[in-house]
Amino acid sequence: MKKKLLAMTLASAMCVSMLAGCGGSSSGDSSASSSDDAYNISVIVKLTDSHFNKVMAGAKAYADEHDNVNVDIQSPTAATSYDEQVNMIETAVGNPSTDAIVVAPLQSDSASTLIANTDKVVIALDTDFESEKKSAFVGTGNEAASKEAAVAAVKKVQDSGVDKPTVLIVTGVQGDETHDARMNGYKAGVEEAGGEVVEIQYCDGMAEKAATAMESVMQKFPAGIDIVLSSNDDIAMSFVKIIKSSGNAKYEDTIVFGFDANQSAIQSVKDGSLTMDVAQNGYDMGYKAVEAAVKCLQGETVDAFIDSGVQVVDSSNVDSYIDDQTAKGLWE
């Protein structure tokens, strides 16, 4: 039986240059990955960043461990490159050699429409969507995880003597199911713990837009805000940078909470500039998604929701988290 080759097809030269870090071959090797007795699985993620690098590494690891599994991993160039991802999904649906599709949709409604008439196995990854064709969703329980994070952040501020902490929520693309779930969880957690959400900002998950939002917030709330809850690490790190560079004493004690546990963000938790981070188990997410697809292809039943798990990382456990990621080969 032929051993598979991983084909990571990215939509720009910039992304292609990152393939070595993901452990993949160039897209030109994709034709070599086929085998008559193998399952061919198309894995389509949202973008290439620290979180999805872990997801891709997990998907590749499953294929490396199973000689009868080929994975073709693809990514659009940005979280707003909707047409690029649509083309990837359409190609996978129409390719007769593709047995299963694992997709992290940029737009859930679009993904539902694109797979509506397929007979292939479909697994939702990272971001869920509604479809009778979908066999399972593999990812983080985003709303529950962000609620837990919000409660922890509010209680931390309350312990310092603030009765009703003020909270800013900064999220990604409006309508994105993952970011909306995190926002809803944050709101619920803040309310449950006795804090107050004073503002919600959308910044398409982009650091530069987050920086502009933070500058606006600092003008709007000159007395300061106790907590910033962000729906990804790029947003959180942008806020940390703006707060630090501003020299605004009213914001120097603001707790900033990230989500994803990218390497740079976790290093910031270690050095104290970022207070907390929600760590998704991206590696397990990618591994379990491909595993679920294979089980479905073999006629097995899988759970409708497969939770890849989360962990809140702060100063108390950051060293052990770093050790774990290093041991898995995900970080240098």
Per-residue pLDDT at 278 exceeds 70:
yes
Distances (CA, A) of 187 to 2, 148, 259: 51, 11, 15
CB 58 within 8 A of CB 284: yes
Position 36 scores a pLDDT of 56
Q: pLDDT band at residue 330, thresholds of 50, 70 and 90? A: confident
| Choice between 205 and 52, residue whose per-residue pLDDT is larger | 52
Pairwise CA distance, residues 84 & 153, whole Å: 37
Position 314 scores a pLDDT of 92
Q: pLDDT band at residue 77, thresholds of 50, 70 and 90? A: very high
CB 74 within 8 A of CB 42: yes
Q: Positive or negative CA dihedral for 250, 165, 154, 142?
A: negative
Q: pLDDT band at residue 6, thresholds of 50, 70 and 90? A: very low
Across the range 138-166, mean pLDDT stands at: 93
Q: pLDDT band at residue 126, thresholds of 50, 70 and 90? A: very high
Across the range 141-166, mean pLDDT stands at: 93
Please give the model's pTM, rounded to 2 decimal places. Answer: 0.69
CB 253 within 8 A of CB 228: no
Per-residue pLDDT at 332 exceeds 80:
no
What angle separates helix 207-220 from helix 233-246, to the nearest 10 degrees?
50
HSE of 114, CA atoms in CB hemisphere, 13 A: 24
Pairwise CA distance, residues 142 & 198, whole Å: 22
CB 203 within 8 A of CB 230: no
